[in-house]
Amino acid sequence: MPCPLIVILGDQLTPDLPILEGAPENAVVALFEVEEEGRYVPHHPQKIAFLFSAMRHFARELRQQGRQVHYTCLDDNDNTQDLIGEAERVAKLYGCDEIRVTSPGEWRLLARIRKRPHTPLPWYRVHDDRFLCTLEEFNQWAQGRQRFRMEHFYRWMRRETGLLMDEHNQPEGDQWNFDHDNRKPLPDRLDPPEAPKHKPDDITRDVLTLVDTHFKQHFGTLEGFNWPVTRRQALNDLEHFIKHALPFFGDYQDAISDQHPFLYHARLSGALNAGLLRPLEVCQAAEKAWRDGRVPLNCAEGFIRQILGWREYVRGIYWLNMPEYKQRNALKADRDLPAFYWSGETDMRCMRRAIEMTRDNAYAHHIQRLMVTGNFALLCGVRPEALCDWYLSVYIDAYEWVELPNTLGMVLYADGGYLGSKPYCASGKYIDRMSNHCQHCRYDVKKNVGEDACPFNSLYWYFLERHEQQLAGNQRMKLIYGSLNKMKSDKRQALREQAIHFLDQLDYEPAYGRGDHRAGYETGNHNKGKSRS
Ligand code: FAD
Ligand code: DLZ
Ligand code: SF4
């Protein structure tokens, strides 16, 4: 009987993975903590701690089931600090004759497995069944279509899974999408639920110390670490979300708060992407809450759409188009990332708070990512690679299969409208409508020019002007280009000068990894010089 080494990657912590179910009794199951994975972008310390702690708990559970488990800790002397190196080394150590791994979620790692230096042992890849739509099914859906709109995919997935469908296979509530009910701005008073507290156990405490020692220089704090590191804790978070936050999820999905980082969002993306939860069970829990009359339909539908629709869709888009997708830059954006993305030191209150929340929690909710930090980078013309590296580094849930289409496609429109029908560009007015940031800001959101004018405003018009040739023909942009073209030339000139002046005085980070990302915040020293104006 062959003796396989079964490699479980840090984001494959699912007890009933096919690779485990099909493993012979003599198989060695192996997990490796390695520097390489922590540093290919400077991951937030909370993300590294979350994965290491979840991996250690998962290994313990496998041992309790009677499996033979090998676990490489980051500071083990013989650690090669590289996933492929570790698999080869450990396979030899246990006398294994083949290596099996579930297909990795990122192209980078798949390419490395395919191109590994010639090694004596064969590698076999096993299908990852943790998505509701297989890549083959997605490719079939996409075949022959000129436009791959998420909404069409989502309806198809509703029919395929039967989620929120009635007995005639029609959408519950006679509508596919309740988004028009889901755009409520932030109310004056609100009291979002506290996230459940997970007291760190010995495993998590050890990991926090380890990560603090090895990844101290990365952007982000470890204090207040409170992510679920076992399936049981993740299920507890799911239950808490369904009971306390889902009833308001739809209404305030797009709202942004100066005080509350999580509002009524699920905080489940980290657990879902690491495999602690399966997407179907999360969607079914939301559907059941609606069928039992515990949450309104717009909330259940809005939430299910994010997982059944967006999450599956971006994964399909990623694998359909990689590695070419990563090279796209339709708007020819070429600016480096403003240095304050690594420090939060800006007078723009909305940006400051989104970056501070990211530093403190390895989390910002979708609209902060899309309409604050993302929108700002779009308006400035930040290079896709620079922005993608940032998003991939700083969030608890970040893996390229989900981060890249969201950043390059949805935020930066760098795929030229393949994923989204128009750029999500907005002036300060949008942020003012959806948040309470502007009242705390030194800039005046109503002003377009002048020392205290909100930078989003002039940048917005300058962005539209710069890309007029490419965007003015887009039906969904007609109205706004109508306004731009009606604008008097001296007003346009003033807006242009205001934006250029603002962009000129920003500091830029030439490339990630050059600086000390956390020290920058602590010392407040970010005078790294301007690299481009
Ligand atoms: P909720 O708002 O409560 O949503 C519920 C779930 O729906 C999430 O847990 C997530 O699994 C899924 N979901 C929601 N929106 C999306 C989306 N656009 N794409 C895919 N899944 C979605 N999500 C990631 O999981 N990893 C990333 O690396 C990531 N990078 C992003 C980068 C940018 C620039 C943007 C605009 C969005 C990104 N997202 C990413 C999507 C989304 O912002 C996060 O999934 C969400 O904020 C996670 O928080 P939550 O669990 O509280 O989500
Ligand atoms: C993100 C990450 C980190 C920080 N560390 C590890 C690790 O030490 N060992 C491991 O197996 N996986 C880690 N991961 C997750 C991988 O980067 C992830 O499996 C690939 O990017 C594929 O999605
Ligand atoms: Fe952001 Fe402008 Fe509002 Fe300040 S005034 S918080 S910069 S939108």
pLDDT at res. 231 = 98
* Site to substitute for ligand 2 among 6, 11, 14, most atoms within 8 A of C-beta: 11
* Site to substitute for ligand 2 among 7, 37, 84, most atoms within 8 A of C-beta: 37
pLDDT at res. 521 = 38
Please, are residues 420 and 410 in contact by the beta-carbon 8 Å criterion?
yes
Is the model's pLDDT at 174 over the cut of 70? yes
What's the whole-number mean pLDDT along residues 244-264?
94
What's the whole-number mean pLDDT along residues 80-96?
96
Distance of alpha carbon 214 from its chain centroid, rounded? Answer: 24
**Residue 99: which of 1, 2, 5 has the closest Cα?**
5
Same-domain status, 426 and 336: yes
Nearest CA to ligand 1 atom 9: 269
What's the whole-number mean pLDDT along residues 240-253?
94
What's the whole-number mean pLDDT along residues 269-286?
98
Is the model's pLDDT at 523 over the cut of 90? no
Same-domain status, 8 and 95: yes
* Ligand 3 center from residue 460 Cα (angstroms): 13
Q: Of 293, 321, 349, which residue sits at a domain end? A: 321
Ligand 2 touching residue 9 (CB < 6 A): yes
Amino acid found at 74: L
Same-domain status, 399 and 483: yes
pLDDT at res. 397 = 98
Query: What is the C-alpha to C-alpha distance for residues 163 and 157, in angstroms, rounded to an integer?
Result: 8
Q: Of 321, 336, 356, which residue sits at a domain end? A: 321
Q: How confident is the model at residue 525 (pLDDT cuts 50, 70, 90)?
A: very low
Work out the angle at residue 361's Cα, subtended by the Cα atoms of residues 524 and 209, and round it to the nearest 5 degrees: 85
Question: Which residues have any ligand 1 atom within 6 Å of their CB?
Answer: 265-269, 272-273, 303, 306-307, 310-311, 314, 365-366, 369-370, 374, 391, 395, 397-399, 402-403, 406-407, 410-411
* Ligand 3 center from residue 396 Cα (angstroms): 26
pLDDT at res. 170 = 97
Ligand 3 touching residue 459 (CB < 6 A): no
| Nearest ligand atom owner, CA of 420 | 1
Q: How confident is the model at residue 144 (pLDDT cuts 50, 70, 90)?
A: confident
**Residue 439: which of 448, 427, 451, 431 has the closest Cα?**
431
| Nearest ligand atom owner, CA of 104 | 2
* Ligand 2 center from residue 9 Cα (angstroms): 6
Q: Does 13 reside within a domain? A: yes
The number of C-alpha atoms within 13 Å of 226 and in the hemisphere containing its C-beta is 14
Q: In terms of DSSP H, where are the helices of 217-348?
A: 231-240, 246-249, 269-274, 279-291, 297-304, 312-321
CATH number at residue 62: 3.40.50.620
DSSP 57-122: HHHHHHHHTT-EEEEE-TT-TT--SSHHHHHHHHHHHTT-SEEEEEPPSSHHHHHHHHTPPP-SS-
With the C-alpha atoms ordered 520, 523, 524, 525, is the resulting torsion angle positive or negative? negative
The pair of three-digit structure tokens given for residue 172, joined into one six-digit string: 């519950």
Burial-class residue 64 by CB neighbours within 10 Å (0-12, 13-18, 19+).
exposed
Is the model's pLDDT at 514 over the cut of 70? no
Q: Does 209 reside within a domain? A: no
Q: Of 271, 292, 321, which residue sits at a domain end? A: 321
What's the whole-number mean pLDDT along residues 453-475?
97
Query: What is the C-alpha to C-alpha distance for residues 405 and 384, in angstroms, rounded to an integer?
Result: 11
**Residue 150: which of 366, 318, 309, 367 has the closest Cα?**
309
Dihedrals phi, psi of 275, to nearest 5 degrees: 95, 5
* Ligand 3 center from residue 349 Cα (angstroms): 6
Helices 202-214 and 45-64: angle between axes, nearest 10 degrees: 140
Q: Does 27 reside within a domain? A: yes
Q: How confident is the model at residue 116 (pLDDT cuts 50, 70, 90)?
A: confident
Nearest CA to ligand 3 atom 2: 454
Q: Does 528 reside within a domain? A: no
The pair of three-digit structure tokens given for residue 72, joined into one six-digit string: 């490489």
Q: Does 202 reside within a domain? A: no
Ligand 2 touching residue 431 (CB < 6 A): no
Same-domain status, 270 and 379: no
The number of C-alpha atoms within 13 Å of 334 and in the hemisphere containing its C-beta is 4
**E strands present in 388-451:** none
Of all residues in the chain, the percent with pLDDT exceeding 90 is 89
What's the whole-number mean pLDDT along residues 378-382?
98
User: Could you identify the atom of ligand 3 that is nearest to the CA of residue 457?
Assistant: 2
CATH number at residue 291: 1.25.40.80
Q: Across all residues in the chain, what is the average pLDDT? A: 93
Burial-class residue 214 by CB neighbours within 10 Å (0-12, 13-18, 19+).
middle
pLDDT at res. 119 = 73
Query: What is the C-alpha to C-alpha distance for residues 496 and 213, in angstroms, rounded to an integer?
Result: 47
| Nearest ligand atom owner, CA of 436 | 3
* Terminal-to-terminal C-alpha distance of the chain: 64
Helices 312-321 and 135-142: angle between axes, nearest 10 degrees: 80
| Nearest ligand atom owner, CA of 405 | 1
Number of domains observed in the structure of the chain? 3
Same-domain status, 496 and 387: yes
User: Could you identify the atom of ligand 3 that is nearest to the CA of residue 440?
Assistant: 6
| Nearest ligand atom owner, CA of 361 | 1
Query: What is the C-alpha to C-alpha distance for residues 221 and 208, in angstroms, rounded to an integer?
Result: 11
Same-domain status, 16 and 157: no
Question: Which of 108-122, 166-180, 363-377 is predicted least confidently?
Answer: 108-122
Residue whose pair of structure tokens reads 């240095």 in the numeric block: 339
Query: What is the C-alpha to C-alpha distance for residues 330 and 332, in angstroms, rounded to an integer?
Result: 5
Looking only at the bridges linking them, the beta strands covering 508-509 and 98-102 are unpaired
* Site to substitute for ligand 1 among 43, 269, 389, most atoms within 8 A of C-beta: 269
* Site to substitute for ligand 1 among 256, 406, 411, most atoms within 8 A of C-beta: 406
Cβ neighbors of 306 (< 8 A, separation 6 or more) are: 366
Q: Does 54 reside within a domain? A: yes
Same-domain status, 273 and 346: no
* Ligand 3 center from residue 137 Cα (angstroms): 43
Same-domain status, 180 and 294: yes
Nearest CA to ligand 1 atom 36: 370
Ligand 2 touching residue 86 (CB < 6 A): no
Question: Which of 4-8, 151-155, 357-361, 511-515 is predicted least confidently?
Answer: 511-515
* Ligand 3 center from residue 511 Cα (angstroms): 26
Size of the chain in residues:
533
pLDDT at res. 348 = 98
Nearest CA to ligand 3 atom 5: 445
Cβ neighbors of 83 (< 8 A, separation 6 or more) are: 7, 9, 32, 34, 36, 37, 109, 112
Q: In terms of DSSP H, where are the helices of 363-466?
A: 366-367, 375-380, 384-394, 400-404, 428-434, 455-466
Ligand 2 touching residue 37 (CB < 6 A): yes
29: left (phi over 0), alpha (psi -120 to 50) or beta: beta
Nearest CA to ligand 2 atom 21: 106
Same-domain status, 178 and 249: yes
Q: How confident is the model at residue 519 (pLDDT cuts 50, 70, 90)?
A: very low
The pair of three-digit structure tokens given for residue 469, joined into one six-digit string: 């040739």
Q: What is the DSSP letter of 270?
A: H
Same-domain status, 256 and 180: yes
Same-domain status, 109 and 148: no
CATH number at residue 354: 1.10.579.10
Please, are residues 113 and 17 in contact by the beta-carbon 8 Å criterion?
no
Distance of alpha carbon 444 from its chain centroid, rounded? Answer: 31
pTM of the model: 0.95
Is the model's pLDDT at 526 over the cut of 50? no
Is the model's pLDDT at 355 over the cut of 80? yes
pLDDT at res. 511 = 56
User: Could you identify the atom of ligand 2 that is nearest to the CA of residue 43?
Assistant: 4
Query: What is the C-alpha to C-alpha distance for residues 15 and 29, in angstroms, rounded to an integer?
Result: 12
pLDDT at res. 520 = 39
Q: How confident is the model at residue 146 (pLDDT cuts 50, 70, 90)?
A: confident
* Ligand 1 center from residue 269 Cα (angstroms): 6
Helix or strand or coil: residue 224? coil
Same-domain status, 179 and 292: yes
pLDDT per position as a tens digit, 180-230:
877 788 888 888 999 999 999 999 999 999 999 999 999 999 999 999 999
What's the whole-number mean pLDDT along residues 81-95?
96
Is the model's pLDDT at 157 over the cut of 90? yes
pLDDT at res. 48 = 98
Q: Does 463 reside within a domain? A: yes
Ligand 2 touching residue 38 (CB < 6 A): yes
Q: Does 521 reside within a domain? A: no
Looking only at the bridges linking them, the beta strands covering 4-7 and 98-102 are parallel
What's the whole-number mean pLDDT along residues 64-87?
96
Which residue segment(s) compose the domain that 251 sits in? 135-195+231-321
* Ligand 2 center from residue 105 Cα (angstroms): 10
Nearest CA to ligand 1 atom 46: 366
